[in-house]
Structure 1
């Protein structure tokens, strides 16, 4: 048997070598060339029938692997038209976010989606995009800051009892902000998330553990913040009487640990789908029944728990400094994927900059460094995949904000609302964001507002153009 007979079968290079090895063994057993070619055609037709053992098992395994690659590439083809999806606050959303959502709804694994009123352009899925997929998780559908989340502590202190200078001193002493920052070693706190066995179950997680342990209890840059303010509860709720309370609100995520997890698995997802259309490249997905998908799911959820641990440590540190125990605490993640039943089917619901809003579920929707935030209770709207906005949403990109806004105007805005800012940059100015009142008004069928929070003393990382 020579190679030209095998080439005529349409086999690829590696398969030809394996077929030649098997053919040689069959010739030794006394079979004719025609008999061997007939057997090889049978292996080609039903390779799964030959994988259990025998001379053709290696060839059968290679043929199945080649077919899986072909099937995966075929499965990467986008739909000709996006599936329909509802939009809240369409008048507040720029066309670029709609274009990104349209691409997401053309993915072959997409089953449902929704766009929240704070939506704006992001990487892959737009910020404010909610996407349900079947047996697939999209790393950039979750985002780079995996587990980015909010936490509110309502304190047994009257709002006016903590002076502005005292609040500023506490925030400077007990919070850290910025890329790569950490508390001094003597001041670091421990948390149970660092003692999970999960860190040992993947080489990547083992590698990133030290970074995570070093940065625990700190916050990143950009729109992350810690702020004291006045919580107004119009009616008795949350186990509290109506009235005003001093409260601490934080926005933070999974730091460098989560960002590296996102980068690693996005690269893996892109290798799974090498022929995916360029406009959908950052929406490459991992099948959840593949080891890569399972590994990302495990790492993503660990990053989500780690992000919430950062909040808990920040709030615990400040509560100790004030010598109080919070009356109640509320938290939610808004960059994560969840398993959720949609129309009777279990799907993977990605919320990239969207707040979970199942029936009765409490959540937090912040405004900006000077505008109010809100405690909300979800109404479980199925069309929105039980979601709501995660904030006000940008109306100016960072570079555009730096170029368009004057420091004196931003300072006047802060002064007019009685806000003291520590750090922060022009790129995070209130004028760079949509009006939070407009965003809340566009989603009255998604959430009920329970309470409002007005910032008073705000700490952020310093921006590229300080205010």
Structure 2
């Protein structure tokens, strides 16, 4: 083990007085770096000092590198607020409005819109859509990168649900896993090509993330994530699903990119804050230029996380369809918490962030869920320019999780679910139906954004917890 380097050793190398010395010394205490000889440690620090920009996305040294780069002479100033469209303003809390107003003042902002299910989050509000000029904002994408909905429609009648509640309940227990404490044991796990992607090797930050991704693939997160059986009611005879008007057994899932997406979001947000210093009210909206190495790395990692989230859903539906002994007639899948390269209505190229907002381009299919006691809707996008071709991603919260826990009793929630014929496995009062907005009112606020092809009404719901 190397003898411990001290601040004077770094000063002799040429490290400037200040934060960089402390950060570097702290990093050298990490187990794998302490094993290096003092000569190797000094060689590494010389390389870092000579070209800190090349270490900005390094797993160990990104923050030290940022501290070595010249600090901006001042904070990046906010610009005049640009106009944006608001859908269903009567359903949107003031906190979400304030966050959107701040986002519309960023120098890189080109356009924006706020969906009727919007509520306050970190950085961009949940339900916020933001178009930027060649810049990506990790917290405008969100922590759960690529979170999505996936629906399978089966050629079984609704009475299958009524007659086989316990059987379908058992299938959810046996073939789904939730949260960080549950996973599939050896022999149950399914492989997927996404785990072999080059990004796990080519991006330094991701090199130690593949094992966790492999452990969690095919599982769902906690919070508002779910897998549920319910009734699909196809009402539009011109639907692109190729499914005749009528009612069917459906399987709906909601989850994202698990620990992989969260680690990507948190790492690159910290990095963005180091290189993009904004006023306090806008600090969570720090961006990375797509012309920078860090921006390109985040873009690649974000797309990997999105594909990983999709793979998780595919495995969930594959397991349950196989256990059910049926192949789905049709599938619908869409994601949110993502950024896309798109062309705006005025012809400008933009990076469009949809944080808790459903892509609703012309002819694009998606699912907008309600709550456990209210239907979700299968929709076709109308490509409305004012909404940046977006729609809500659900009903949206009417109560924060904290408020729901304070005001709702578990016995009352269970009674409410029973009255609506809902079988719930797991879940908590923070996800009670009463904590959500009225999905029908939300849908009425966006009739110009999507056409409704049908609905999905939950019956047997599994969330984190339960046995």
Is the pair's TM-score, using the shorter chain for normalization, greater than 0.5? yes
Structure-to-structure mapping, 1:28-39, within 5 angstroms:
none
Residue 462 of structure 1: how far off its partner (Å): 2.9
Structure-to-structure mapping, 1:75-154, within 5 angstroms:
76-79=76-79, 81-154=80-153
Q: Do the aligned partners of 1:419 and 1:457 also contact (CA within 8 Å) in 2?
A: yes
Q: Do the aligned partners of 2:145 and 2:262 also contact (CA within 8 Å) in 1?
A: yes
Deviation sequence 1:319-374 (CA, Å, 0-9, x none): 00011111111100111000011121110000000000000110010011221111
1:235 aligns with 236
Deviation sequence 1:57-81 (CA, Å, 0-9, x none): x9xx9xxxx9xx78966682111x3
Query: Helix, strand or coil for the counterpart of 2:464?
Result: strand
Structure-to-structure mapping, 1:45-444, within 5 angstroms:
76-79=76-79, 81-162=80-161, 163-236=164-237, 237=239, 238-274=241-277, 276-342=278-344, 343-444=346-447
Query: Helix, strand or coil for the counterpart of 2:85?
Result: coil
Deviation sequence 1:139-167 (CA, Å, 0-9, x none): 00000000100000001111212411111
Residue 100 of structure 1: how far off its partner (Å): 0.3
Deviation sequence 1:209-237 (CA, Å, 0-9, x none): 10001100000000000000000012322
| Aligned equivalents of 1:431, 1:344: Cα separation in 2 | 43
What TM-score does the superposition give when structure 1 sets the normalisation length? 0.83
| Runs of 4+ with >4 A deviation | 69-75
Query: Helix, strand or coil for the counterpart of 1:246?
Result: strand
| Aligned equivalents of 1:209, 1:318: Cα separation in 2 | 25
Matched, 1:448 2:451: yes
Q: Do the aligned partners of 2:276 and 2:288 also contact (CA within 8 Å) in 1?
A: no
Residue 98 of structure 1: how far off its partner (Å): 0.3
Residue 198 of structure 1: how far off its partner (Å): 2.2
What TM-score does the superposition give when structure 2 sets the normalisation length? 0.83
The total of aligned residue pairs comes to 402
Residue 182 of structure 1: how far off its partner (Å): 1.6
Mean CA deviation greater in 292-301 or 185-194: 185-194
Residue 82 of structure 1: how far off its partner (Å): 1.5
Mean CA deviation greater in 216-225 or 204-213: 204-213
Which structure is larger by alpha-carbon Rg, 1 or 2?
A: 1
| Aligned equivalents of 1:95, 1:366: Cα separation in 2 | 23
Q: Do the aligned partners of 1:76 and 1:107 also contact (CA within 8 Å) in 2?
A: no
Change (3 A) 1:70 1:106: farther
| Aligned equivalents of 1:159, 1:186: Cα separation in 2 | 33
Residue 180 of structure 1: how far off its partner (Å): 4.6
Query: Helix, strand or coil for the counterpart of 2:150?
Result: strand
| Aligned equivalents of 1:135, 1:71: Cα separation in 2 | 22
Q: Do the aligned partners of 1:180 and 1:215 also contact (CA within 8 Å) in 2?
A: no
Unmatched runs of 5 consecutive residues or more in structure 2: 1-13, 15-49, 54-65
Residue 130 of structure 1: how far off its partner (Å): 0.2
Deviation sequence 1:165-200 (CA, Å, 0-9, x none): 111100000000013532112211111111222221
| Aligned equivalents of 1:156, 1:90: Cα separation in 2 | 40
Residue 418 of structure 1: how far off its partner (Å): 1.1
- Report the aligned-residue RMSD: 2.2
2:46 aligns with none
